[in-house]
Amino acid sequence: MRASDAERERIADVLRDALAEGRLGMDEFQERLDSTYRARTRGELVPLVRDLPHHPEEDTSGDRSPEVSGAQDASTAPSLRKTRRWAERIGGRATSRWGIGIMGGFGRRGQWTVPRVFTGIGIMGGGELDLREARFEDRDVVIRCFALMGGFSVTVPPGVGVEVRGVGIMGGFDSSASGFGDAGAPRVVITGVTVMGGVGVVRKIPREEKLELRAERRQQRELERRERREGRDRRRGHGGHHGGHHGGHHGGHGGHGSSDHGGKSL
């Protein structure tokens, strides 16, 4: 059975929760997330979360497939996932339409606005395009890469649709990050020609989101430590109260025995 965009996103939410809880390291999380967005069938999604808690008791939709019914619904996911409001990142004047690297390189990263059509040229050089914090001039953008003995690196955030159409001669275009995006998310088409060069496309979470995930993980650990401390304190308090009760009880018996013996000696 073919996987839907909603099913991929539910699996991605489970992975993000696992990262925040410390069940996955950053490298393994990124690897599984990439596999999630590359998955074509439900069977490819199942192994990615088989060893993670899915909270199936929260699944009340009644219409999910058995394979992915354990994944959390978007409404129960932490607020972090709700910060990706794509409509707020679409529109505005493009800040750069060209990039040229001749025996060198160029970079476009941070808060920049991706044009409807961006053209990169690399001759014994190349460039790096990071779209994780970028705005988009339009919902559909095209990145054209032309390289001779050079290459380009394109980084996209989770949720953005990616389609790779380029042609490589003694080189190639990496299509491993291709996949559908969230509803309303931008769609990036990567095309062009490379000769003795290549174009790499990867998905990575934005730095701000990564920091928030780490903060969530620290808070979770602190909460667990606090609960353990409170549990130990309760057990100690119960033990002290129990010991004091028994000690007082035995002391009372001892006093009673002394009184009896004293009465007998008289």
For position 247, what pLDDT does the model report?
Answer: 53
For residues 78 and 94, membership in a common domain is answered with: no
Q: Is residue 232 part of a domain?
A: no
pLDDT at 80 over 60: no
For residue 262, tell me if it sits in a domain: no
Question: Please, which residues have CB within 8 angstroms of residue 148's CB and are 6 or more apart in sequence?
Answer: 122, 123, 124, 194, 195, 196, 197
Domain end point (choices 160, 185, 207)? 207
Helix (H, G, I), strand (E, B) or coil at 102: strand
Can you tell me the distance from the alpha carbon of 29 to that of 32, in angstroms, rounded to the nearest whole number? 5
Together in a domain, 102 and 48: no
Q: Do 109 and 169 have their domain in common?
A: yes
Single out the residue in 187, 207, 227 at which a domain terminates.
Answer: 207
Chosen domain end from 63, 83, 103: 83
- Residue 235 to residue 93: CA distance in whole angstroms: 63
User: How many other CB atoms are there within 10 angstroms of residue 175's CB atom?
Assistant: 16
Neighbours of 78 (CB within 10 A): 15
Same domain for 100 and 18: no
Cα 122 from chain centroid? 32
User: Is residue 259, in this structure, part of any structural domain at all?
Assistant: no
Average pLDDT over residues 160-168: 91
Question: According to the model, what pLDDT value does residue 117 have?
Answer: 96
Q: What percent of the chain has pLDDT over 90?
A: 33
More confident residue, 127 or 261: 127
Closest CA to 14 of 27, 23, 2: 23
User: In this structure, is residue 247 part of a structural domain?
Assistant: no
Tell me: do 112 and 174 sit in the same domain: yes
Give the pLDDT mean for 126-131: 94
Same domain, 70 and 17: yes
Specify the DSSP element, H or E, that contains 226.
Answer: helix 207-265
Q: What is the pLDDT of residue 7?
A: 85
Residue 79 has pLDDT above 80, yes or no: no
How confident is the model at residue 78, as a pLDDT? 37
Instruction: Tell me, yes or no, whether 159 and 55 share the same domain.
Output: no
CA neighbor of 119 nearest in space, from 89, 150, 92, 152: 152
Higher pLDDT, 169 or 239: 169
- Choose between 35 and 191: higher pLDDT: 191
Q: How many CB atoms lie within 10 A of CB 98?
A: 11
In a domain, 222, yes or no: no
Instruction: Assess if residue 212 is contained within a domain.
Output: no
Apex 123 CA angle, 118 and 127, nearest 5: 45
The pLDDT of 187-205, averaged and rounded, is 92
For 27-36, 144-153, 208-217, which range has the lowest pLDDT when averaged over its residues?
208-217
Q: Which residues of 188-213 are buried (b: 16+ CB within 10 A; e: fewer)?
A: bbbbbbbeebbbbbebbbbeebbebb
What's the mean pLDDT in 3-15? 83
The reply to whether 245 falls in a domain is: no
pLDDT of 81 strictly over 70: no
For residues 120 and 197, membership in a common domain is answered with yes
What does the pLDDT read at residue 177? Answer: 85
Q: What is the pLDDT of residues 26-67, one digit of tens each?
A: 778 888 888 888 888 888 898 899 888 764 433 333 344 444
12 or 216, higher pLDDT? 12
Residue 241 has pLDDT above 70, yes or no: no
Q: How many domains does the chain have?
A: 2
Is residue 103 domain-resident?
A: yes
Could you list the residue range(s) of the whole structural domain that residue 13 is in? 5-83
Q: How many CB atoms lie within 10 A of CB 222?
A: 10
**Is residue 179 domain-shared with residue 101, that is, in the same domain?**
yes
Q: What are phi and psi of 101, to 5 degrees?
A: -130, 110
User: Do 58 and 146 belong to one domain?
Assistant: no
Query: Given this model, what pLDDT does residue 37 score?
Result: 84
Amino acid letter for position 38:
R
131 and 163 both lie in a single domain:
yes
* Element (DSSP H or E) covering residue 232: helix 207-265
3-state helix, strand, coil in the chain (%, to 5): 40, 25, 35
Looking at residue 83, what is its pLDDT?
A: 44
pLDDT beyond 90 at 228? no
Report pLDDT for 113: 94
Instruction: State whether 33 and 95 are in the same domain.
Output: no
Q: Residue 153's beta-bridge partner residues? A: 128, 200
